Amino acid sequence: MLRALLAAIAVTVGLGGEGTPPAVPVAPERPPAAVLGIVWNETGFAKPKLTRVKSLALEPFGRSVLLRLGGGSATAYSPDRRWLALGNGTTASIQLVDLQRMKQVGVVKLGLDGWVTFLSWQDGSLFAVVDGDTDHAVAVVDPVERKVVRRHRLNRAILGTQAGPGTVVLITGPRNHIGPIELTVVGGKGMTSVPVREIAGGWETENDSSGYRARQATPGLAIDAPGRRALIVPAGRTVAEVSLSNLAVRYHTLSEPVSLLGRLRNWLEPAAQAKLIEGPQRKAVWLENGLIAVTGANYTVSTDENGDPDVAAEAAGLSLIDTRTWSIRTIDDETSDVARFENTLLAFGATDWTAPTKAPGFGLVGYDLGGKELFHVLRRTAVSWIEAVDGLAYVTLNEKHYAVVDAATGHVFARARTKKPLSLVTN
């Protein structure tokens, strides 16, 4: 397998890599008794509910709170974790729930047209990102008074969002086409933006007599722990570093160590496909010691025999960018998504949604924050999604089948099946 060959070469040339994984600790931390989850119904006309579920069996118990239709599109805990804010995926509104009493305490209508895609509760402010056909905006909410303090409208498409200290940071692109992106910061001082002209992003589509054609370019966005700088990572060798104090932009060209790694996979520059479209999507996660994990997928859309668009995706693999030297090294070629925990990075990905049995997934791989492999579990299993709750990784195997994994050790505590679709309230 190419993963094993990449690891062997990385160790040989001294780039760091898997080597021989250390023994997995025998006694992982005891999981909590319960976690918060949202139970969905099979039909879209029944309201979901917020409830506590047993952390391993995922069985609901105790009191529950009925959510509005579309409720739970985004969530955020209050800083003291006594309240939970839940965004709505059909209307621009937020439900506020007292978790000690498991009772709704209010609803805030945001006065925008769209749905809530992101929430961040920082000190006394609740930031809500709203995206829709009409409005692209950030609303700043006073959760105690249950009112909107400010609305910041964007005349651009939202491509990515991250929370910074007392702020929300967004990257945006032109509406309806691909062009130079901007980085926008919303915080206590209002909203400020800066052009990032050397990186393009956005979406564009055409549908004419020759068929359907579409393209996307979605860079990754990562913010360092102190909240001083943001890094924007496209599918190319140029990355942008933005100071969040004065919005100064610097560009860096990534270099790859001279080795066979560069010949095995052209990760940075996806090759052109003989199809109607290709479009890169990237995700970036800041680790430690100046390292950033980058992954994603390269999408293609063609037209099937019925004239309908057919989507395919190829994993971009996992790479680490070292911001001290502005170099990049390849870790594996199969990852298309990652989840950061306190001291581990979990890599996974299932890009063949149409025929998972023909192309089984590679499972779940845990790395330390320097890129060294710690464990590899759920082998030959397609892992499509992970929800992080404290130190547990809830691994989605299919709509109602989950594996509960200790993120630090890779120990699989349990496999659980639910009666109804379930999503966990993450950290």
Q: What is the pLDDT of residue 313?
A: 81
pLDDT digits (tens, 9 = 90+) for 155-172: 999 999 999 999 999 999
Q: Mean of the per-residue pLDDT values for the chain?
A: 85
Q: What is the pLDDT of residue 28?
A: 66
Q: What is the pLDDT of residue 273?
A: 35
pLDDT of 351 over the 90 cut: no
Distance CA 125, CA 33 (A): 31
- Long-range residue pairs from 4-13, CB within 8 A, at least 24 positions apart, any chain: 5/264, 6/261, 6/264, 6/330, 6/331, 6/332, 6/333, 7/332, 7/373, 9/259, 9/260, 9/261, 9/264, 10/259, 10/261, 10/329, 10/330, 10/331, 13/257, 13/259, 13/260
pLDDT digits (tens, 9 = 90+) for 212-241: 677 889 999 999 999 999 999 999 899 999
Positive or negative, the Cα torsion across 272, 273, 276, 277? negative
Residue holding tokens 């990385």? Answer: 10
Share of the chain above pLDDT 90, in %: 67
Give Rg (Cα) of the chain: 22
Contacts of 25 (CB under 8 A, 6+ apart): 408, 409, 411
Q: What is the pLDDT of residue 206?
A: 75
pLDDT digits (tens, 9 = 90+) for 359-416: 568 899 999 999 999 999 999 898 989 999 989 999 998 888 999 999 999 999 999 9
Which whole number is the average pLDDT over 276-297? 88
In terms of Cβ atoms closer than 10 Å to its own Cβ (0-12, 13-18, 19+), residue 166 is middle
Q: What is the pLDDT of residue 215?
A: 84
Q: What is the pLDDT of residue 145?
A: 95
Q: Which residues pair with 161 in a beta bridge?
A: 170
Q: What is the pLDDT of residue 358?
A: 47
Q: What is the pLDDT of residue 30?
A: 85
